[in-house]
């Protein structure tokens, strides 16, 4: 897993995002197409690091990254399409995602093997050769004194690897496929990775697990930068996982001031919406589950978890909480106070981009950018967060709402609220993190093994602090968030906190 590491892949993504943000802030329609054409040559040239076996391939990949960063789809491989095709239609006033959100850049994919075992040079050619003895298909023989696996006979069971005393047998597998908990990664006719959109729930774990950076999601960074440059009233709502994402000792005041310097008129904390959700779901659990009306309750704040349940376990739809997610609840609050403003969700999650675009429940969110994309916007405007500090911090959310950002935090917040509001009511909590674990949990719930439970699911292992759009290692993010939660002035929201009606 390469989440949080400052790799070459992350460096290239940041350079592309920064250049796209500059395009948006420049807001010059007359030179936009020419400026866009120039970017691949600025990022890859004779003076830059050689990222691939040739500058030409590197530049071709940057061109596709550039299109995705502009909110456009990849170009087809079987017909000529210009780099800038479709840019004119990239309207800032609308959510601009041509599905699918997650895409494999074919020219960047190394066509990794899906699964296989291979003997490495660590083999000692031992006398016992246990690998040969355990193989159920006689696929292993001794060649030149070393073990050799006949791939035509191998059934990829892994027994040889498990018994090798020197760990000389390597398991080869496609990193993106291994990270996908819903088996959405398959191979195209050339052996390259392909994401099946019917299975994908857009968690982004494939994207952050590919060591070649061959998978990317679409962005609204251009549209948002352009809107900010034109002076529109735009309000930011920032997810609680922001803590530590923009550098050590960067406080909420630093971030608020930097966002205002970018052009945001106001900044809200998404933990406010989490507080609203915690109160509502505490009441919902007692009213529906404790009363016996529902067998269990599934939280709804993680869009990948909710999408997983709806796609793979449609029978459980009635058990998914109908409360607004923190992102939407906060956006509704903002729209009530600033009806003419556009709302931007800033967070760690790629799947929120789809949640904001859904039609079944209006989100009131006009743009979604990740922490990774926001950092590139700061870079584009040369904003050093340490040099800016607002007079006040964010709105005062509670520790419970802020704790939504780590795995287990949602259920913990709801449990604390139930214990406070309904003394004596027992709460049964289950939580799962990572889509594979989430699927197992949902299967057990469907089988009646989790009746009476409040079940939290997080698509990313570790929770929101481990999302695909984060900037720092998960362990550091968890520690920083725990400190932020601990120093919150209020532990839980009041029972009477106003619930925003679903309209």
Q: Name the segment(s) of the chain with CATH classification 3.30.70.20.
A: 8-111+176-222, 115-173
Mean pLDDT of 191-203: 95
Mean pLDDT of 171-200: 95
What tens digit of pLDDT does each residue of 36-64 get?
999 999 999 988 887 888 999 999 999 99
- pLDDT over 70 for what percent of the chain? 96
Judge whether residue 421 has pLDDT over 50. Answer: yes
Judge whether residue 196 has pLDDT over 50. Answer: yes
Residues 6+ apart with CB under 8 A from 483: 243
pLDDT band at 500 (very low <50, low <70, confident <90, very high): very low
CB 249 within 8 A of CB 387: no
Residues 6+ apart with CB under 8 A from 80: none
Per the rule left: phi > 0, alpha: psi between -120 and 50, beta: everything else, 424 is: left
d(CA 9, CA 338): 39
Mean pLDDT of 373-387: 97
Task: Identify the weakest region by mean pLDDT among 9-18, 97-106, 174-183, 291-300.
Answer: 97-106
Q: What is the dihedral of CA 183, 188, 192, 197, to 10 degrees?
A: -40
pLDDT band at 345 (very low <50, low <70, confident <90, very high): very high
The answer to whether the Cα torsion of 344, 350, 353, 358 is positive or negative is negative
SS3 content of the chain, % helix, strand, coil (to 5): 40, 15, 45
Helices (H), 243-301: 252-262, 271-284
Q: Name the segment(s) of the chain with CATH classification 3.40.50.
A: 233-486
Which of these, 338, 333, 323, lies nearest to 404 by C-alpha position?
Answer: 323
Judge whether residue 458 has pLDDT over 90. Answer: yes
Judge whether residue 2 has pLDDT over 70. Answer: no
Threshold 0.85, pTM exceeds: yes
pLDDT of residue 94: 63
Judge whether residue 307 has pLDDT over 70. Answer: yes
d(CA 395, CA 266): 11
pLDDT of residue 89: 75
Judge whether residue 498 has pLDDT over 80. Answer: no
Which of these, 377, 366, 357, lies nearest to 93 by C-alpha position?
Answer: 366
- DSSP assigned state of 288: I
Residues 6+ apart with CB under 8 A from 189: none
- In CATH, the architecture of 115-173 is 2-Layer Sandwich (3.30)
- Average pLDDT of the chain is 93
Q: Which CATH class is domain 233-486?
A: alpha beta
Helix (H, G, I), strand (E, B) or coil at 263: coil
pLDDT band at 359 (very low <50, low <70, confident <90, very high): confident
CATH topology of domain 8-111+176-222: Alpha-Beta Plaits (3.30.70)
d(CA 207, CA 104): 9
């Amino acid at each position: 897993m390469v989440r949080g590491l400052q790799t070459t892949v992350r460096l290239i993504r940041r350079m592309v995002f920064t250049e796209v943000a500059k395009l948006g802030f420049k807001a010059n329609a007359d030179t936009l197409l020419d400026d866009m054409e120039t970017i691949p040559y600025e990022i890859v040239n004779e003076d830059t690091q050689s990222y691939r076996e040739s500058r030409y391939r590197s530049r071709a990949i940057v061109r596709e990254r550039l299109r995705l960063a502009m909110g456009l789809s990849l170009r087809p491989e079987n017909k000529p399409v210009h780099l800038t095709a479709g840019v004119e239609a990239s309207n800032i006033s609308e959510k601009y995602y041509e599905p699918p959100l997650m895409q494999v850049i074919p020219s960047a994919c190394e066509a990794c093997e899906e699964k296989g075992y291979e003997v490495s040079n660590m083999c000692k050619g031992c006398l016992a050769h246990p690998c040969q003895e355990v193989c159920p298909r006689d696929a292993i023989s001794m060649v030149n004194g070393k073990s050799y696996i006949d791939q035509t006979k191998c059934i990829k069971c892994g027994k040889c690897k498990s018994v090798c005393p020197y760990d000389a047998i390597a398991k080869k597998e496609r990193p993106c496929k291994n990270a996908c908990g819903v088996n959405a990664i398959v191979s195209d006719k050339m052996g390259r990775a392909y994401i099946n959109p019917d299975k994908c729930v857009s968690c982004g774990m494939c994207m952050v697990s590919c060591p070649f950076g061959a998978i990317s999601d679409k962005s609204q960074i251009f549209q948002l930068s352009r809107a900010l440059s034109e002076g529109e009233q735009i309000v930011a709502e920032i997810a609680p996982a922001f803590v530590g994402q923009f550098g050590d000792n960067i406080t909420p005041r630093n971030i608020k001031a930097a966002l205002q310097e970018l052009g945001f008129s106001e900044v809200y904390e998404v933990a406010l919406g989490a507080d609203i959700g915690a109160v509502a779901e505490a009441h919902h659990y007692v009213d529906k589950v404790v009363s016996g009306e529902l067998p269990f309750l599934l939280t709804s704040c993680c869009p990948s978890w909710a999408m997983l349940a709806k796609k793979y376990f449609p029978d459980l739809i009635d058990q998914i909480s109908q409360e607004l997610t923190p992102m939407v609840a906060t956006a509704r609050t903002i729209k009530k106070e600033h009806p003419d403003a556009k709302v931007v969700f800033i967070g760690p999650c790629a799947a929120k981009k789809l949640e904001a675009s859904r039609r079944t429940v209006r989100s009131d969110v006009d743009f979604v950018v990740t922490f990774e994309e926001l950092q590139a916007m700061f870079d584009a405007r040369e904003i050093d967060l340490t040099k800016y500090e607002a007079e006040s911090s964010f709105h005062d959310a509670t520790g419970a709402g802020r704790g939504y950002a780590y795995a287990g935090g949602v259920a913990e917040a709801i449990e604390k609220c139930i214990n406070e509001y309904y003394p004596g009511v027992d709460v049964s909590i289950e939580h799962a993190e990572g889509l594979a674990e989430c699927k197992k949990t949902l299967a057990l719930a469907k089988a009646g093994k989790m009746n009476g439970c409040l079940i939290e699911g997080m698509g990313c292992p570790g929770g929101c602090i481990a999302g695909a759009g984060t900037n720092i290692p998960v362990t550091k993010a968890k520690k920083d968030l725990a400190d932020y939660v601990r120093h919150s002035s209020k532990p839980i929201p009041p029972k009477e906190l106003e619930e925003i009606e679903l309209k």
